[in-house]
Structure 1
Amino acid sequence: MIRLSPEHLQTIRAHAESTYPEECCGIILGYMAAEDKIVVEVMPTENAWNTEAGAEFSEKRTAESKRRQYAIAPEVMLKTQKEARNRLLNIIGIFHSHPDHPAIPSECDRLYAWQGYSYIIVTVQNGKAGELQSWSLDDRHQFQAETIENIK
């Protein structure tokens, strides 16, 4: 289960709407409490996807744009990890949007995902954020739905 506030959800939705029709992305900071991930902050980031990021995929994938792919720059991840540690937090997940597609992970999402992280996906239909779902990888590197609980 991942627990976050209505403000965190609003930040994710607003970022998704602001980048439409391209995918948005961002980093989720927090900590573990028993089996639950507790979100302290969501950090919108720039979508750094480019053809180099997609080089390991087929030509079709490489030709796709930020409308169907996202990447967070490695230097942003590293800087955020260092800052999180200084605040006694961890990166516990990533969020991104699916413009005009369901909030269900793609094969590319699965291939790039790391175990232990939550992956929140928000669908954006015609510029308006809609359904939001969280996913995590199981031991077979397959996504499983993760419960989202609002905290106040």
Structure 2
Amino acid sequence: MIKIKNVDLGLIKTEAILHYPYECCGFLIGKKEKEIKVVVRVIPTANDWESQRDLLKEVMDKPDYGMKENFAIAPKTMLQVQKEVRRENLDIIGIYHSHPNHPAIPSEFDRAIAWQEYSYIITSVVEKEIKELYCWQLEENSQFKEETIIIDQ
């Protein structure tokens, strides 16, 4: 389960609409409390797909994909955010991204780059309108399981 404030979900949806028809992405920052991951804040980041394309094309055998179909977070950005939030005794507990004109279910590329300890919020946006939003976690068998989202006012 993941607990997130309604305002943070609003920010994720706004980012998805703002970046449409390209995928947006960002970090879910918080702590794990017993069996619930609690999001304290959301940090939007640039979709760095174009500069990461050559590194990531080996993950999926479709190098012609672009920012409309994929996202990438620069390793430097990941390290910078990780250091910043650790100073606040917080962690990166997940990643969010959008799927323009596609369902909010993980793609094969999402599976290839996912980490088991992270939650993945995916938002479907079609013609600049949010259609659905789900949260997923990669299990040990490399299958995604939908996580329950608890919305905190």
Give yes or no for TM over 0.5: yes
- The yes-or-no answer on 1:33 pairing with 2:42 is no
Give the letter aligned to residue 139 of structure 2.
Answer: D
Structure 2's unaligned 5+ residue stretches are: none
Equivalence map 1:39-118=2 (5 Å): 39-50=39-50, 51-56=53-58, 57-58=60-61, 61-118=62-119
The Cα shift of 1:84 comes to 0.7
Q: Which runs of 4+ in 1 moved over 2 A?
A: none
> Secondary structure in 1 aligned to 2:54?
coil
The Cα shift of 1:30 comes to 0.2
**Residue-by-residue CA offset, 1:105-152 (whole Å, 9 max, x unaligned):** 000000000011000000001011221000001111211000001112
- The two structures have a TM-score, normalised by structure 2, of 0.95
- Distance across 2 between alignment mates of 1:52 and 1:17: 27
**Residue-by-residue CA offset, 1:55-88 (whole Å, 9 max, x unaligned):** 2021xx2101100000011111000000010000
State the identity as a percent.
45
Q: CA RMSD in A?
A: 0.8
- The two structures have a TM-score, normalised by structure 1, of 0.96
